[in-house]
Structure formats: C-alpha cells, structure tokens
C-alpha cells in the first residue's frame, strides 16, 4: 500500500557515514581515562550486561559479578569515595540489583509505554487560563486563484482554504499538485520517506464531495499536509528515520493524524526526520534545504521544514525536544510553532524524552500555524500529560504597550556576518515601530546546559532495547555526539544524579515563571541559548522569517511566550509578519 524507496544520494556517498563506526560501543566516549578492567566493573555495577562491548564479553566476562574493585571504579565515575567498610556493606545489595535488572529486562515493554512519571510544566501556584476558545481567519476576505500552479503551491493555508471553499480550486486538484511536486523535487530535497497517495486521493475525493454539498469541516478542509515520520499512520510505515525501524508498521493512527483527518486535511506523505529525531541524516541520506540544496535542512523535523518551504505541502507536523521545530524552521525559512508542553497529544508519536517531547506545525504563515494548532490541541484521554486550556485568537491584538523582553547578549555574535547582524537589528526596530516596549532581560543564572542529561537519560531508556539488541549499530551516524554513543554514555548516569537534575529543573521552572510573569513574551535569535531553557521548562515558542544572511540563507526571529499562551506570541508574530514581506519570499527551483 505504501510507496517507499531505499536510497543514498549520489552526491553524498563520499560523506554518508561522516563518523567512522566502531565495534558495539564507542569506548573513547565511555571509558576515557579508565582501564578496561575498570570499564568492566562499571558495566557490571550499572547492569549493562549484554550491552558491553562484544570484544570484552568474549574475554570470559559474559556472566558478571561485582567486586570491591568494580565498586571503586564506579565511585570514580560518580565522583565519590567510600571506605572499605562502606563498600563491603553495599556489595551484596548491588549484586542483588543485577537480578532485579534482569527480571525487568525479561518483561515485554512496548516502545509506546510511558514511565509512571508525568511531567507538568506548571509551577506551584500557577493559575490556568479560563474562559472559552475562539478563532477566526484574519486575512482579507477576497482571494482570487493565481494564474500559475507554482504560485498556488506557495500560497499559505489561510488563502488556500478560501480558494477551496469558494470552489476556485478543488481538493483533488490541490492534492494532485502536491503529490506531483513532491515526486518532482524529492530527488533533490530527499524529504519523503513514504507517499500516502492512495489514502490521499480517497480523502481528496471525499472532501470535494463534502465541499460541493456545502459541508466545511474546518479551514484545513481539502488542504494537503505532510507528517514527520515519527507519527503512526495506519497501513503505512513509520520508520522514525532509522534503519532498524525501516519496515515498521504501527497499526493505528496517532491522535494528531486522527484530528487532522476529522478536520478534512489530506495526508500526502510521511516526511523525513534525522534518525531517531536527531539532525537531518536519515537512513536514505540527508534532507536538503530548498533555498540551498547543497546544505542540509537541519533537524530533526527536516522533511516537514523542507517540504513546507518548497511548496510541496500546505503545512506539516513536526516535533521538538530540544530545537527540532525551531532549528529547521530557521534553516528553511518557515513559521514553526512549538506549543506549550502538554498542549498537543503525543499518542502515536515516537517517544524520545517523555518530559520534553512536543508536537507542533510548520507552515508558510503565522495564521496557518494558529489554524493548525487549533485543530490538533487538547486532551484525548491517551496522553496523560495533556491538559485542556482555552485558545482565543480572533481580533488582532496591537503591540502598543506590550512588554517584550530581549537578551542583548544573544543579539551579539562575533561570528555573524554584517547582514545577519543588521537583519536582527532591523527586526527589533520593526517591533519598536509597532509599539512594543522592548526591555533588556537576562536568563536565570543556573547550570541549564547540565540539565540536558534529562534528555539523554530518557532517550537512552526509550531505546535501551535497541542498544541491547546491537541494532543500534545500524544507525547512519555513529561515534562521538551521535545517538549510539549518547545512549551508551547515559547508562553511566546514576539515578541519584538524574533526580538531582530534575530537582534543579524545578528551580529553573520557578525562575522562568517569575521572568515570564513580568513580560508578554521575549524575543531572541533562533540560535539562542534560551532554546535549551524553554524546552526544559515547557514554554511555547514561535519562529517567524525575518530576512536573509549574506549567503542568501533564510533567518528567523523567535518569540517565546508564557505557559499556555500561544495566542500572544502568535499575535506578535502576525503583526511582525504583516509589517514585513519575508513570509512572501520562497525558493526558486527554476
């Protein structure tokens, strides 16, 4: 039923594996400064078992027991020093833990099973917004069909919707245009994993009949879209961009897929992501930036950003854990919305970090992001992190007297070219002319980077079975900085340190909430260090095109808002968009 391909771009064959592979584990990453005996001791204490390097297991160490020397080695890793008496008191229990580990490993735990811990981004005392939801399209009422299909392909959803509802364009015609463009430009962009053509054409014919009958499901009715291929779609592969899962079929639809189906949107393709949601390298090659196909599209929502920027789909759904919507939006020059953590159900989406993963739209306009978000938000009884909160986006809100913080240091970078500096300066001037009150702010002075180990440990737990099976070696990227090494290294993070990081995260959340209580939003470059902070705290963010650098690459500016207040950053982004023309620019494939 699915249309899929296996390939490596010819022009990438020389650097497809840009980091040399190593046997089973990258020992330099894990045991730097330790001898192999010490490494075996650490592996024993941590219960690494079958995950230790094959070359070491073959040295008569398959059945591991823990000695005092093993404990000493582990204490070095943890920065501790116990007395001999203390070591002897824990040896029996630590050896007993190995039996517990093995019992748990014998359980069949499906990949979509969440831990019995639920992250909540709301600080103590936080008051949820009240009232009802409302949304209305803000563009001018009169829209005429453009002369060329090329111009039609690059129109934002807000305009396409009016063309469909006024029957100037049919859903069948629009879907066929999207599929044809995907097939024409995918050999250059490498943004498609599977086409969903049979499903799409059936949806398009149904939408056309409904619209002719006067039925309008939503502003997305009849609009083609693409799904990042970590969203389960019944009858089609869901590969997670990784070779070990290349033929995986999950026999149900993710909640966001269901909701977009109900809204009448038409799924035309499963789009690429970096393997297991890192970067833009997947098992078929590297996804490309439509503005400059010689460079990658960034990731991990690589395909959604590339296909949306290239006018191949009306919009797409991506995911973000640490920048995977913001970064490709910047590289490809599209609008990306990362909602508040817990706003959109992740049921049916690949889990990377249960306390940080978020789903959101990538679009060609701010209004499009609001329309898509309105359809996919809200609880579904499946994802325990999702809470219901109103979303009101109707009358355009003026920026006059709106307090917007900015971080001066993040708008200064010696590595930037002059045009990049000027572009950001001009963007801030636009906000001032719109009436915004820009005030300098500083991020909390906390070890935010150190808290990233939360992501590394959760990701390692999610893919522990992949490491144990040895199939982690099939991932395209290996070596330092890639997932295989990260998964293995996370094995040596003590549970006590993981919980300490979570406690530090709670302090960060309180500081961030105090900061955001003083402002309507704050603005930064996309490369901002605030990306890590706000992904840990769960705050929403919006990327909006703001110009180009000296190389002609797109640039975006990022607005970060208060918890559950996507409406305000969408207001700011929409006003900025209307005052500039960057959102009307698109790559030229001619």
Query: Percentages helix, strand, coil for the chain, rounded to the nearest 5?
Result: 40, 15, 45
Name 4's bridge partners. Answer: 194
Q: What is the DSSP letter of 555?
A: E
Tokens 């930037």 belong to residue: 416
Give DSSP secondary structure letters for 266-327: EEEEEEP-STTSSSSEETTEE-EETTEEEEE--SSSHHHHHHHHTTSSSEEEEEESSSTTHH
Options 324, 327, 329, 355, the catalytic residue = 324
Domain ranges of the chain: 3-110+447-501, 134-446+502-584
In whole angstroms, how far apart are CA 193 and each of 177, 181, 234, 303, 312? Answer: 18, 15, 15, 9, 14
Q: Is 270 within 8 Å of 196 (Cβ atoms)?
A: yes
Strands 335-338 and 315-320, bridge-based pairing = unpaired
Give residue 452's Cα distance to chain centre: 15
Nearest to 488 by CA among 509, 460, 521, 450: 460
Architecture of domain 134-446+502-584: Alpha-Beta Complex (3.90)
Catalytic residue among 218, 228, 528, 530: 228
Q: Is 228 a catalytic residue?
A: yes
Exposure string for 418-454, b = 16+ CB within 10 A, e = fewer: eebeebbeebbebbeebebebeebebeeeebeebbbb
| Tens digit of each residue's pLDDT, the chain (590 residues) | 445 444 444 334 333 333 333 333 444 555 555 555 555 556 655 655 544 444 333 443 445 578 888 888 888 887 878 888 888 877 887 887 888 788 888 888 888 888 888 999 999 899 999 999 999 887 666 889 999 999 999 999 999 999 999 999 999 999 999 999 999 999 999 999 999 999 999 999 999 999 999 999 999 999 999 999 999 999 999 999 999 999 999 999 999 999 999 999 999 999 999 999 999 999 999 999 999 999 999 999 999 999 999 999 999 999 999 999 999 999 999 999 999 999 999 999 999 999 999 999 999 999 999 999 999 999 999 999 999 999 999 878 899 989 999 998 888 887 888 899 999 999 999 999 999 999 999 999 999 999 999 999 999 999 999 998 999 999 989 888 899 989 988 888 889 889 999 999 999 999 999 999 999 999 999 877 799 999 999 999 999 999 999 999 999 999 999 999 999 999 999 999 999 999 999 999 75
**Residue 381 burial by CB count (10 A; 0-12/13-18/19+): exposed, middle or buried?**
exposed
How many other C-beta atoms can be found within 10 angstroms of the C-beta atom of residue 123? 16
The predicted structure's pLDDT at residue 318: 98
Q: How many CB atoms lie within 10 A of CB 537?
A: 27
Residue with tokens 């111009």, as numbered in its chain: 151
Query: Do strands 521-525 and 403-406 pair parallel, antiparallel, or not at all (unpaired)?
Result: parallel
CB-based burial of residue 59 (10 Å sphere; 0-12 exposed, 13-18 middle, 19+ buried)?
Answer: exposed
Active-site pick, 300, 301, 316, 327: 300
| CA-based torsion, 180, 186, 187, 192: positive or negative | negative
Assess contact for 232 and 238: CB atoms under 8 A: yes
pLDDT at 11: 37
| pLDDT at res. 372 | 98
pLDDT at 240: 98
Residue 54 is predicted with a pLDDT of: 44
Which pLDDT score is estimated for 38? 57
pLDDT tens sequence across 397-444:
899 989 999 998 888 887 888 899 999 999 999 999 999 999 999 999
Q: Give ∠ CA 304-453-504 in degrees, rounded to 5.
A: 115
pLDDT of residue 43: 62
Annotated catalytic residue 379: no
| pLDDT reported for residue 325 | 98
Element spanning 165, H or E: helix 157-165
Label residue 467 left, alpha or beta by phi (over 0 means left) and psi (-120 to 50 means alpha).
alpha
Residue 422 annotated among the catalytic residues of the structure:
no
Give the torsion sign (CA, 344, 348, 351, 354): positive
Distances 356 to 17, 25, 208, 459 between C-alpha atoms, Å: 29, 26, 39, 10
- CA gap 75, 494 in Å, rounded: 10
User: 247: burial class by Cβ within 10 Å (0-12, 13-18, 19+)?
Assistant: exposed
pLDDT score at 19: 35
């Amino acid at each position: 039923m699915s249309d899929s391909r296996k390939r490596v771009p010819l022009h990438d064959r020389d650097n497809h594996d840009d980091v040399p592979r190593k046997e089973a584990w990258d020992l330099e990453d894990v045991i730097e400064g330790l001898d192999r005996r010490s490494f075996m001791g650490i592996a024993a204490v941590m219960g690494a078992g079958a995950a230790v390097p094959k070359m070491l297991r073959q040295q008569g160490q398959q059945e591991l027991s823990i000695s005092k020397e093993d404990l000493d080695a582990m204490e070095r890793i943890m920065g501790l020093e116990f007395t001999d008496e203390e070591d002897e008191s824990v040896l029996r229990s630590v050896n007993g833990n190995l039996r517990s580990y093995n019992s748990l490993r014998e359980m069949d735990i499906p990949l979509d099973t969440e831990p019995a811990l639920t992250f909540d981004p709301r600080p103590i005392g936080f008051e949820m917004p009240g009232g009802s939801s409302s949304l209305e399209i803000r563009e001018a009422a009169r829209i005429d069909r453009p002369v060329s299909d090329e111009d039609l392909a690059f129109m934002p959803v807000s305009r396409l919707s009016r063309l469909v509802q006024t029957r100037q364009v049919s859903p069948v015609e629009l879907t066929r245009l999207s599929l044809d463009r995907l097939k024409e430009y995918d050999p250059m962009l490498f943004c498609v994993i599977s086409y969903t053509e049979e499903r799409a054409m059936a949806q398009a014919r149904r939408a056309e009949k409904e619209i002719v009958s006067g039925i309008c499901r939503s502003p997305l009715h009849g609009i083609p879209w693409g799904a990042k291929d970590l969203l389960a779609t019944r009858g089609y592969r869901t590969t997670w961009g990784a070779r070990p899962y290349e033929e995986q079929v999950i026999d149900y639809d993710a909640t966001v897929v269901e909701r977009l189906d109900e809204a009448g949107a038409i799924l035309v393709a499963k789009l690429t992501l970096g393997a297991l949601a890192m970067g833009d390298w997947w098992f078929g090659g590297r996804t490309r930036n439509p503005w400059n196909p010689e460079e990658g599209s960034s990731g991990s929502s690589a395909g959604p950003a590339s296909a949306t920027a290239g006018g191949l789909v009306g919009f797409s759904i991506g995911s973000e854990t640490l920048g995977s919507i913001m970064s490709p939006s910047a590289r490809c020059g599209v609008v990306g919305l990362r909602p508040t953590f817990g706003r959109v159900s992740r049921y049916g989406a690949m889990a990377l970090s249960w306390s940080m993963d978020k789903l959101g739209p990538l679009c060609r306009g701010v209004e499009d992001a609001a329309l898509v978000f309105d359809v996919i938000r809200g609880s579904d009884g499946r994802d325990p992190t999702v809470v219901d909160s109103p979303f009101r986006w109707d009358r355009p809100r003026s920026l006059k007297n709106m307090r917007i913080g900015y971080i001066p240091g993040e708008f200064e970078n010696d590595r930037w070219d002059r045009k990049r500096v000027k572009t950001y300066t001009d963007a801030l001037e636009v906000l001032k002319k719109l009436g915004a009150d820009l005030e300098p702010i500083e991020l909390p002075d906390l070890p935010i980077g150190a808290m990233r180990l939360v992501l590394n440990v959760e990701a390692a737990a999610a893919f522990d079975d992949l490491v144990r099976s040895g199939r982690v070696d099939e991932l395209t990227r290996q070596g330092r900085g890639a997932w295989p090494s990260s998964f293995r290294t996370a094995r040596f993070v003590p549970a006590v340190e993981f919980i300490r990081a979570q406690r530090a995260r709670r302090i960060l959340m309180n500081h961030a909430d105090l900061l955001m209580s003083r402002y309507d939003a704050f603005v930064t470059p996309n490369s901002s260090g605030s990306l890590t902070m706000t992904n840990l705290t769960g705050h929403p963010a919006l990327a909006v095109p703001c110009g180009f650098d000296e190389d002609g690459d797109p640039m975006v500016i990022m607005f970060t808002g208060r918890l559950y207040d996507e409406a305000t950053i969408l207001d700011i982004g929409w006003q900025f968009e209307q005052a500039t023309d960057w959102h009307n620019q698109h790559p030229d494939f001619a």
